[in-house]
Amino acid sequence: MNAAFRISGAGRLSQAKTASFSFDGKSYSGIEGDTLASALLANGVHLVGRSFKYHRPRGFLSAGAEEPNALVQIVRDDARKTPNVRATVQELYDGLTANSQNRWPSLAFDVGAVNDLASPLFSAGFYYKTFMWPKSAWKNLYEPKIRAAAGLGVSPDKPDPDHYAARYAHCEVLVLGGGAAGIAAALAAAETGVRVILADEHAEFGGSLRFESGAKIDGENGYAWAQSAVARLKAMDNVRVLSRTTAFGYYAQNFVGLVERVSDHVKNPGRELARERLWQVRAGRVVIATGAIERHMVFANNDRPGVMLASAARTYLNHYGVAVGKNVGVYTANDSAYAAAIDLKKAGVNVAAIVDLRDNPTGPVIDEARALGIEVNFGRAVIRAGGKLRVSSMTVQPKNGGGERTIPVDAILMSAGWTPSVHLFSQSRGKVAFNDETKRFVPGTYAQDCISVGACNGTDGLAASVDEAYAAGAKAAKDSGGKAGKGAKPKVDAGESWSRGMLGAAPGAGPDTTVKAFVDFQNDVTAKDIRQAVHEGMHSIEHVKRFTTNGMATDQGKTSNMHGLAIAAETLGKPIPQVGLTTFRAPYTPVTFGSIVGHARGALFDPTRRTATHGWAASQGAVFEDVGHWKRAWYFPKAGEDMHAAVDRECVTVRKVGGLFDASTLGKIEVVGPDAAKFMELLYTNPWEKLETGRCRYGIMLREDGFIYDDGVVGRLAPDRFHVTTTTGGAPRVMNHMEDYLQTEFPHLNVWLTSITEQWAVIAVQGPKSRDIIAPLVEGIDMSDEALPHMSVREGKICGVPTRLFRMSFTGERGFEVNVPADYGEAVWEALWAEGQKHGATAYGTESMHVLRAEKGYIIVGQDTDGTVTPNDAGLDWAVGKKKTDFVGIRGLARSDLVAKGRKQLVGLKTKDPKVVLEEGAQIVDDPKQPIPMKMIGHVSSSYWSENCGRSIALALVAGGRDRMGETLYVPMPNGTIEVEVTGMVFVDEKGEHLNG
Amino acid sequence: MLLIRCPYCEEERPELEFRNAGEAHIARSANIAGENEDDFEKFFFIRSNPKGVIYERWRHIHGCARFFNAVRDTVTDKFVMTYKAGEPKPAKLPGASK
Q: What is A471-483 written as a DSSP string?
A: HHHHHHHHHTTPP
Total residues belonging to chain A: 997
Cα dist. A359→A355, A501, A750 in Å?
11, 12, 85
Query: Is A170 at the interface with chain B, CB within 8 A?
Result: no
Sorting pLDDT into bands at 50, 70 and 90, what band is A126?
A: low
When CB atoms are compared, the residue of B1, B33, B66 closest to A251 is: B1
* Cα–Cα distance, A72 to A59 (Å, whole number): 11
Query: Is A862 at the interface with chain B, CB within 8 A?
Result: no
Q: Which residue would you say has higher pLDDT here, A139 or A504?
A: A504
- How many other C-beta atoms lie within 10 A of the C-beta of residue B52? 9
Q: In what order do the strands lie in the sheet with A26-31?
A: A26-31, A18-23, A96-99, A71-77, A80-86
Query: Is A892 at the interface with chain B, CB within 8 A?
Result: yes
* Cα–Cα distance, A543 to A541 (Å, whole number): 5
Can you tell me the mean pLDDT for A866-885? Answer: 97
B76 Cα to chain A: minimum distance (Å):
7
- Tens-place pLDDT, residues A674-699: 999 999 999 999 999 999 999 999 99
A731 Cα to chain B: minimum distance (Å):
15
Can you tell me the mean pLDDT for A141-155? Answer: 65
Can you tell me the mean pLDDT for A781-799? Answer: 97
Q: Which residues of B touch A252 (CB under 8 A)?
A: 1-2, 77
Sorting pLDDT into bands at 50, 70 and 90, what band is A3?
A: confident
**Closest chain A residue by Cα to residue B65:** A739
**Closest chain A residue by Cα to residue B79:** A253
Average pLDDT, chain A: 94
Query: Is A886 at the interface with chain B, CB within 8 A?
Result: yes
Inter-chain residue contact B76 with A447, CB threshold 8 Å: yes
User: A residues 244-303 near B, CB within 8 Å?
Assistant: 251-253, 255, 280, 282
ipTM: 0.97
A447 Cα to chain B: minimum distance (Å):
7
When CB atoms are compared, the residue of B14, B32, B66 closest to A891 is: B32
Cα dist. A137→A129, A141, A149 in Å?
14, 5, 16
Can you tell me the mean pLDDT for A410-433? Answer: 96
Backbone angles phi, psi at A422, to 5 degrees: -95, 15
- Tens-place pLDDT, residues A8-55: 889 999 888 999 999 999 999 999 999 999 999 999 999 999 888 888
Total residues belonging to chain B: 98
Inter-chain residue contact B67 with A740, CB threshold 8 Å: yes
A120 class by beta-carbon count within 10 Å (0-12 exposed, 13-18 middle, 19+ buried): exposed
Q: Could you give the 3-state DSSP secondary structure of residue A835?
A: helix
Inter-chain residue contact B77 with A252, CB threshold 8 Å: yes
Supply the pLDDT for residue A150.
56
Q: Is the pLDDT of residue A522 over 80?
A: yes
Query: Is B13 at the interface with chain A, CB within 8 A?
Result: no
Cα dist. A230→A80, A91, A177 in Å?
33, 21, 12
C-alpha closest to that of A979 among A910, A906, A930, A932: A910
Contact indicator for A63, A86 with CB cutoff of 8 Å = no
Q: Which residue would you say has higher pLDDT here, B87 or A140?
A: B87
Chosen from A734, A744, A753, A896 to mutate, greatest number of chain B CBs within 10 A: A744
**Closest chain B residue by Cα to residue A895:** B37
Query: Is A891 at the interface with chain B, CB within 8 A?
Result: yes
Supply the pLDDT for residue A2.
61
Sorting pLDDT into bands at 50, 70 and 90, what band is A134?
A: low
Sorting pLDDT into bands at 50, 70 and 90, what band is B98?
A: very low
**Residue A102 identity (one-letter amino acid):** N
Query: Is A138 at the interface with chain B, CB within 8 A?
Result: no
Buried b (16+ CB within 10 A) or exposed e, A746-773: beeeebebebbbeebbbbbbbbbbbbbb
**Closest chain B residue by Cα to residue A736:** B61
* Cα–Cα distance, A869 to A947 (Å, whole number): 29
Supply the pLDDT for residue A981.
98
User: A residues 381-440 near B, CB within 8 Å?
Assistant: 429
Can you tell me the mean pLDDT for A804-824? Answer: 97
Q: Which residue would you say has higher pLDDT here, A145 or B91?
A: B91
- Tens-place pLDDT, residues B27-47: 999 999 999 999 999 999 999
Say how many CB pairs under 8 Å bridge A and B.
53
A255 Cα to chain B: minimum distance (Å):
6
User: A residues 729-748 near B, CB within 8 Å?
Assistant: 736, 739-740, 743-745, 747
Q: Is the pLDDT of residue B86 over 70?
A: yes
Q: Which residues contact A279 (CB under 8 A, 6 or more apart)?
A: A166, A167, A168, A169, A199, A242, A245, A257, A258, A259, A260
Q: Which residues of A touch B44 (CB under 8 A)?
A: 704-705, 892
Q: Is the pLDDT of residue A314 over 60?
A: yes
Query: Is B5 at the interface with chain A, CB within 8 A?
Result: no
Inter-chain residue contact B59 with A736, CB threshold 8 Å: yes
Sorting pLDDT into bands at 50, 70 and 90, what band is A137?
A: low
Q: What is the 3-state secondary structure (H, E, C) of A955-985?
A: EEEEECHHHHCCCEEEEEECCEEEEEEEECC
User: B residues 74-93 near A, CB within 8 Å?
Assistant: 76-78, 85-86
Supply the pLDDT for residue A1.
46
* Cα–Cα distance, A641 to A639 (Å, whole number): 6
Q: Which residues contact A628 (CB under 8 A, 6 or more apart)?
A: A609, A665, A728, A729
Supply the pLDDT for residue A496.
85
Q: Is the pLDDT of residue A111 over 80?
A: no
Chosen from A170, A253, A429, A685 to mutate, greatest number of chain B CBs within 10 A: A253
Cα dist. A201→A241, A422, A567 in Å?
11, 16, 31
Supply the pLDDT for residue A113.
74
Which residues on adjacent β-strands are paired with residue A939? Answer: A923, A957
Supply the pLDDT for residue A151.
59
Can you tell me the mean pLDDT for A87-101? Answer: 95
When CB atoms are compared, the residue of A736, A743, A886 closest to B85 is: A743
B1 Cα to chain A: minimum distance (Å):
6
Can you tell me the mean pLDDT for A49-64? Answer: 92
When CB atoms are compared, the residue of A736, A890, A896 closest to B32 is: A890
Backbone angles phi, psi at A646, to 5 degrees: -65, -45
A890 Cα to chain B: minimum distance (Å):
6
A586 Cα to chain B: minimum distance (Å):
14
Supply the pLDDT for residue A983.
98
- Tens-place pLDDT, residues A280-294: 999 999 999 999 999
Can you tell me the mean pLDDT for A225-251? Answer: 97
Which residues on adjacent β-strands are paired with residue A251? Answer: A255
Strand A327-332 to A350-356 pairing: parallel
Can you tell me the mean pLDDT for A383-406? Answer: 96
Backbone angles phi, psi at A860, to 5 degrees: -115, 120
A58 Cα to chain B: minimum distance (Å):
40
C-alpha closest to that of A306 among A382, A377, A214: A382
Q: Which residues of A touch B77 (CB under 8 A)?
A: 252-253
Sorting pLDDT into bands at 50, 70 and 90, what band is A543?
A: very high
* Cα–Cα distance, A435 to A974 (Å, whole number): 65
Angle at A324 between CA A318 and CA A330, to 5 degrees: 95
Query: Is B12 at the interface with chain A, CB within 8 A?
Result: no
When CB atoms are compared, the residue of A429, A705, A747 closest to B86 is: A747
Which residues on adjacent β-strands are paired with residue A417? Answer: A295, A501
Contact indicator for A456, A288 with CB cutoff of 8 Å = yes
- Tens-place pLDDT, residues A180-231: 999 999 999 999 999 999 999 999 999 999 999 999 999 999 999 999 999 9
Supply the pLDDT for residue A148.
58
Q: Is the pLDDT of residue A107 over 60?
A: yes
* Cα–Cα distance, A72 to A987 (Å, whole number): 66
A37 Cα to chain B: minimum distance (Å):
37
Conformational region of residue A253, where left means phi above 0, alpha means psi within -120 to 50, and beta covers everything else: left
* Cα–Cα distance, A181 to A193 (Å, whole number): 19
When CB atoms are compared, the residue of B35, B61, B76 closest to A429 is: B76
C-alpha closest to that of A611 among A762, A713, A749, A817: A762
Query: Is A968 at the interface with chain B, CB within 8 A?
Result: no
Inter-chain residue contact A253 with B78, CB threshold 8 Å: yes
- Tens-place pLDDT, residues A563-601: 999 999 999 999 999 998 888 899 999 999 999 999 999
Q: Is the pLDDT of residue A152 over 70?
A: yes
Inter-chain residue contact A744 with B86, CB threshold 8 Å: yes
Ranking A406-415, A594-603, A812-821 by mean pLDDT, the lowest is A594-603
Q: What percent of chain A has pLDDT over 70?
A: 96
